[in-house]
Amino acid sequence: MDRVLFGDNQFFGINHMSEEKARAQAMQFRDTASMMRVLDSAYGSGIRVFMCTTHDQVGEIADLVRASPDRYSEFEFYPCMPYAHKYANAVGEVGIIGALQRFAPGSVVETLLKGAYSAVTQDVERLMQILVDSEMRRFAGTRTPYIFLQNVVTDLLLGLKMEALLAAFDRYIRGKYRAEPGFMTMNLPLLLDSLERVGIRNPVVCTNVNKIGFRMCGGIEAYRDVLRSRRCRAIAMSVFASGAIPPQEAIEWVCSLDGVDSIVFGASSAANIRQTKSLIETAWGPAAAPALSKSS
């Protein structure tokens, strides 16, 4: 895995500190062409990985990449699923049952509705598989060596103590897609304890890492401890804490930590992409080897 990854929050008006910035970004990226211009800038600067949600417009980006294999021969997608807003909108339109039937039609939903606990336990895993397949359909024919479970689901399963489903996701991604499963979380210490209990060692984990502890459940020192122990292969996100930390200060702090292997960031312009990539390369060294291997 590369050390510098490009994210997609800016494309969909996501800013955890400022609604005004989020609205401005949503206006800037109203169509796929405007997103593709920024991605081309990132690709041209040497960033080969697009870590993205499974938003419908990302599917359109995948179509464009797939249509130009020579131009994007090294382009990789790291899908992060599910795209929660899509399911939330469907629930708002047709209710919970209608949403399940829309995205996972057939006998699995019928069994769930019957309510037998043993059947439900079995079929929740099957439902997960169907939803993963639905999300991955748009990425067929592209390079997806890592596939991530979004933190909204990871952390919900942690809270419900449904660790078995995390293990089921891990098995399914490895078996069906021959890819490395990854987990996004806002609570790295708790996640690693839970994954180890179900036999998952040295997982790929994407989590908030920043010097003010923004959305880092358990606190900075707990994160330092687990990162230093090398219990996971860590990708740092939200390193700028949604703009609360100056770029150079933020990057230097994260890159100084033991155990951080990669950084994912979003940007809205070619100049910001170049600046952030340069800061990371200066802090880590431009000749640094790829951070992660495919082995776990």
pLDDT in tens, 62-90: 999 999 999 999 999 999 998 765 654 54
Residue 48 · residue 2 · CB < 8 Å: yes
Angle, vertex CA 152, rays to CA 242 and CA 56, nearest 5? 85
The two three-digit tokens of residue 79, written as one number:
């899908």
pLDDT grade, residue 285 (50/70/90)?
A: confident
Going from N- to C-terminal start, the domains of the chain cover 4-284
Which pLDDT value is given to residue 289?
A: 46
Over residues 221-230, the pLDDT tens digits come to 999 999 999 8
Does the pLDDT value for residue 94 go beyond 80? no
CATH class name, domain 4-284: alpha beta
This prediction has a pTM of 0.85
236/195 Cα distance (integer angstroms) = 19
281/265 Cα distance (integer angstroms) = 14
Which pLDDT value is given to residue 118?
A: 44
187/134 Cα distance (integer angstroms) = 27
- Residue 193: DSSP 8-state: H
Which pLDDT value is given to residue 79?
A: 97
Report the pLDDT averaged over residues 213-219: 95
pLDDT grade, residue 29 (50/70/90)?
A: confident
Which pLDDT value is given to residue 73?
A: 97
Residue 158: in which H helix or E strand, if any? helix 151-159
